[in-house]
Structure 1
């Protein structure tokens, strides 16, 4: 057994992966995501609303939208919002809270939510994001929900400095829309942040860390998770300054196996982090037979509890979060 552990450690070392470290962090976190990552950010927020103070969703829909069905995920939850009924989704939410599968719903009332959907989004149409807004409005005052529906963006993470043409699809799903989505989202959630210039560089360190240790029952790939994730650490946070943690979930075909570190480098979060003392965690999903595009699980390919605290992916990311806080 000791030889196996040593071999796995050496494999991680040789591939450039480090053990995820701990930092001087506040106890609360925020989350965000694009597309399947938006659904995952919503699931993580609803599951752990006692810890998560806010969530930002770019091109995503309401909690448990797919009802555990892959066909529903690609149909109503992406293209046909008029077929999304919120009553069963809210009933599932209430049942989850009653049984402890998600945190008490009273926590959501103090959260802040940011929702972005481009007018040209042909992958997850705007009406789906408006259903997400309607879902959150059942638990959060409208003043704490900010929506952006007036930018002519295709299905993408909007930036003010990197990516393809705003209104067109590209293989990285990052578009230059002259709009800093990462800043706008984090500023709405936390308030009072400094805005980076569109030409700002990145002075921190992007670390490739081992995700494997956060999955105990089976290898990470069993649950559609990569063996490694990314962590961006500004110089001040590395030197012991009190910082905040933000978790950013990539979209389908946007993980490390498909585009390398492009989402972690160019989605816009790192420049905000440098100016405002945030550490940004970029957990990485990957493709498996039941998930060929490397999406986060928002329809049930890892099991029926995929949207709750018992989800293998949510549990793994929670452990990563706790490690950065020195609690795991």
Structure 2
């Protein structure tokens, strides 16, 4: 086990060196004109997903803001606060601080009000994906994430049977399933996004395989960053938003926050994650809005790979509600019309209720799942 972990660490350092070279070369795409703010939409449920560092960040958001997010999708990542303030923990967190300690820490932080009550996680749908050829995230780390959620009563679906590398698997992928290569969009000849959305919503319409119906736009992330500077948080000045026509016209829609991984932000890959990630295709046919926040490589904070902060490069509070990156993303979610939810439970079903006021003061509500 020690040899495998050291080998994974060496591979990670190799990728880190490549990241420095990419960062030095500058962005692969030029910045696009951005709309100043996000539109206020009729959002009736909010979900978060991500891959690699985005997968860890998705877990952080789901746990810290469990009153806001109705479900999570975690790809190639592990349990809440697995990093414990050290980037190397992404290959060894299962060998150091145990998942029991992470569970107790979450309970303590919830009791202190630093994160939402962990009781909110009970019954919430969580989809977890891990390829067994992933050279970066130890399979025990992924399993620890599943165990963490199940400890708090979440309804977890675990897909770990694909010979996938460290990637976001998608039927529109351009990398063979087993490899770990940019743009980390792998084709494993299946459809994990449909599985994830079905886990969340109970069923989905077939995806749109033709011309996109919605519009992918860029918006100003500075408007939502604490202090007004996204770059100071290692976030790009613009993010991306996909809105189908029905949602733009006021129809009730679910919101999906989708977080890219390291070396996968628009700084290097443009709109590849949105265009090939297979979420916009389902957004068109299922009334989903997809928010793509963007991290960026930076010298300070020290983040050469353009990763999301799941190990503390923005400060020691990176995993709690006061974390600067999570605060920015949640402010984006609220700007789009989603508000904190109140979850109630009975022995037969999970019901999520929203307390929200529409853009003109009218009460609106909707189910978070179903």
> Is the shorter-chain TM-score for this pair beyond 0.5, marking a shared fold?
yes
Aligned residue among 282, 288, 305 for 1:272: 282
1:304 matched to 2:316: yes
Alpha-carbon contact 2:226-2:324 (below 8 Å) kept? no
1:175 matched to 2:186: yes
1:284 matched to 2:294: yes
Q: In structure 1, what is the equivalent of residue 40 of structure 2?
A: 22
Alpha-carbon contact 2:242-2:289 (below 8 Å) kept? yes
Q: In structure 2, what is the equivalent of residue 31 of structure 1?
A: 48
Alpha-carbon contact 1:201-1:271 (below 8 Å) kept? no
Give the secondary-structure state (helix, strand or coil) at the position aligned to 1:315. helix
Cα RMSD (Å): 1.7
Aligned residue among 76, 88, 109 for 2:92: 76
Question: 1:183-229, CA deviations, whole angstroms, 9 ceiling, x for partnerless residues?
Answer: 211111111211326x4442110011110111232511111111110
Question: 1:248-268, CA deviations, whole angstroms, 9 ceiling, x for partnerless residues?
Answer: 110001101111111121111
Give the secondary-structure state (helix, strand or coil) at the position aligned to 1:55. strand
The TM-score, its normalising length taken from structure 2, stands at: 0.80
Q: In structure 2, what is the equivalent of residue 3 of structure 1?
A: none
Could you tell me how far 1:108 is from its partner in structure 2?
Answer: 0.4
Alpha-carbon contact 1:25-1:242 (below 8 Å) kept? yes
Alpha-carbon contact 1:249-1:282 (below 8 Å) kept? yes
Separation of aligned partners in 2, 1:65 and 1:217: 27
Instruction: Write out aligned runs for 1:128-147 (5 A).
Output: 128-141=141-154, 144-147=155-158
The TM-score, its normalising length taken from structure 1, stands at: 0.90
Alpha-carbon contact 2:172-2:277 (below 8 Å) kept? no
Q: In structure 2, what is the equivalent of residue 248 of structure 1?
A: 258
> Which runs of no fewer than 5 residues in structure 2 stay unpaired?
1-30, 340-358, 360-370
Q: In structure 2, what is the equivalent of residue 101 of structure 1?
A: 114
Alpha-carbon contact 2:32-2:218 (below 8 Å) kept? no
Question: 1:141-167, CA deviations, whole angstroms, 9 ceiling, x for partnerless residues?
Answer: 5xx210001111111111113321111
Q: In structure 1, what is the equivalent of residue 173 of structure 2?
A: 162
Give the secondary-structure state (helix, strand or coil) at the position aligned to 2:226. coil
Could you tell me how far 1:100 is from its partner in structure 2?
Answer: 0.9
Give the secondary-structure state (helix, strand or coil) at the position aligned to 1:91. helix
Separation of aligned partners in 1, 2:125 and 2:188: 24
Question: 1:44-85, CA deviations, whole angstroms, 9 ceiling, x for partnerless residues?
Answer: 000111121110100001011111123324x314xxx34451
Q: In structure 2, what is the equivalent of residue 208 of structure 1?
A: 218
